[in-house]
């Protein structure tokens, strides 16, 4: 049984302010440590209940947020592009998200966005507004792997259930404003992630993969026209108004196909 875990930083336990996203801040180093704690808890949960292989993607920003020596040695770190290029995406049996966040425009959500908080305003696949949860879920879902678990703030956990069904979630905090949250007890969060990731292994087979049938139209609305200027120069991208571009693809066959 091969489980792939996609991590982010905004939805990690103990991450409660926007300043912790700044790479040169003291708070960012603390966030990295919490990232490893939450990720390892999910890895333990998966191995506790039947996983044979666990691969993990560091999905935040540059993909250089892990403290590698703290990662559970049983897991292999690999980015989504390499997962695809090496053919491992076809071997994944189920997907877990750790530390994810809600899509842009979500009420009562901590650091809601998709890709760029500055440039990307809204994101759609076949006219369905969504975010990074659906991007990862749809890519691996195309190859038959369902999303079975997500840890995040309360709002993102609800979003995960909305798109993927009655999966296991671990809400580790609640947003007070867009840029500030209150974290739940950290020991409790770690135990909850491990426990619910373990329970999620039991629903493999009963949760359907999140599949989007082709042809696929990706639409991105930008916050400013100059961001749209840049995006419209990329291959296979069509500009439809001052702040919006679309890209049409036959199927979601690789992760980069659902980005610009």
Residues pairing with 37 in the sheet = none
pLDDT in tens, 106-164: 999 999 999 999 999 999 999 999 999 999 999 999 999 999 999 999 999 999 999 99
pLDDT band per the 50, 70, 90 thresholds, residue 240: very high
Residue 62's pLDDT band (cuts 50, 70, 90): confident
pTM value?
0.97
Judged against a pLDDT cut of 90, whether residue 30 lies above it is answered with yes
Q: Following CA atoms 25, 31, 32, 33 in sequence, which dihedral angle do they give, to the nearest 10 degrees?
A: 120
Instruction: Quote the mean pLDDT of the chain.
Output: 97
Which of 4-13, 32-41, 80-89, 90-99 has the weakest average pLDDT?
80-89
Q: Which of 260, 254, 237, 258 is nearest to 80 (CA)?
A: 254
| pLDDT tens digit sequence for 192-216 | 999 999 999 999 999 999 999 999 9
pLDDT attached to residue 23:
92
Do the beta carbons of residue 250 and residue 142 sit within 8 Å? no
For 170-193, the pLDDT digits (tens) are 999 999 999 999 999 999 999 999
- Looking at the predicted structure, is the pLDDT value of residue 42 above 90? yes
Single out the residue of 156, 137, 139 nearest to residue 147, CA to CA.
137
pLDDT digits (tens, 9 = 90+) for 73-101: 999 999 988 999 999 999 999 999 999 99
- Counting Cβ atoms within 10 Å, is residue 24 exposed (0-12), middle (13-18) or buried (19+)? exposed
Residue 57 has pLDDT above 90, yes or no: yes
Mean pLDDT of 4-13: 98
């Amino acid at each position: 049984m091969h489980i792939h875990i996609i991590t982010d930083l905004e939805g990690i336990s103990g991450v409660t302010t926007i300043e912790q996203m700044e790479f040169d801040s003291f708070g960012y180093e603390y966030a990295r440590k919490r990232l490893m704690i939450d990720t390892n808890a999910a890895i333990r949960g998966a191995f506790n209940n039947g996983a044979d292989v666990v691969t993990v993607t560091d999905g935040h920003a540059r993909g250089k947020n892990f403290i590698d020596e703290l990662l559970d040695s049983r897991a292999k770190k690999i980015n989504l592009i390499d997962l695809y290029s090496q053919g491992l995406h076809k071997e994944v049996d189920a997907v877990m998200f750790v530390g994810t966040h809600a899509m842009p425009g979500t009420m009562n959500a901590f650091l809601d966005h998709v890709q760029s908080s500055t440039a990307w305003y809204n994101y759609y696949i076949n006219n369905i507004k969504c975010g990074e949860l659906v991007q990862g879920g749809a890519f691996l879902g195309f190859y038959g792997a369902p999303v079975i678990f997500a840890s995040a703030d309360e709002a993102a956990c609800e979003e995960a259930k909305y798109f993927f069904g009655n999966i296991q979630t671990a809400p580790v905090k609640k947003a007070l404003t867009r840029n500030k949250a209150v974290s739940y007890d950290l020991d409790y969060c770690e135990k909850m992630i491990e426990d619910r990731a373990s329970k999620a292994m039991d629903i493999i087979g009963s949760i359907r993969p999140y599949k989007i049938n082709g042809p696929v139209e990706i639409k991105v609305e930008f916050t400013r026209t100059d961001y749209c200027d840049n995006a419209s120069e990329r291959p296979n991208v069509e500009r439809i108004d001052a702040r919006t571009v679309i890209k049409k693809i036959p199927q979601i066959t690789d992760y980069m196909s659902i980005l610009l």
